[in-house]
Amino acid sequence: MLNHPTHERLVQLRLLGMAQALTEQAHLPDLQALTFEERLGLLVDREVTERHQRQTSSRLRRARLKQAAVAEDIDYRHPRGLDRAVFRRLLTGDWIRGHQTVLITGPTEPTT
């Protein structure tokens, strides 16, 4: 099979995730055991993942956040009255899909 022209077409179509996955697949010895549909599925999954990562990176750059904060770094031990169960529910995003508003008040970091 001629992978080089296919790779070039994928790059030309800006399917960079699929192009990279195709290159990686060429170096895998057990790849012949997969069906066409399985290989195609792997390529498509990789493209979707790459696009999602690019979108997330772009949004984070545009947000110009001063600190890279993640929910896993929340310190529940500090006496701020944070409820772990409430935070877990908020992190699922169901409140967004339910068209609800969330208002969080109070200090954002512990005072010393």
pLDDT tier, 46 (very low <50, low <70, confident <90, very high otherwise): very high
Sign of CA dihedral 62, 65, 70, 74: negative
Tell me, yes or no, whether 59 lies in a domain: yes
> Does some domain include residue 52?
yes
In a domain, residue 47? The reply is yes
Q: Let me know if residue 42 belongs to a domain.
A: yes
In a domain, 72, yes or no: no
What's the pLDDT tens digit per position in 2-25?
578 888 999 999 999 999 999 988
Task: Count CB-CB contacts under 10 A for residue 81.
Answer: 7
pLDDT of residue 59: 92
- Which tens digits make up the pLDDT trace of 50-104? 999 999 999 989 998 888 778 888 888 877 778 888 888 888 989 999 999 988 8
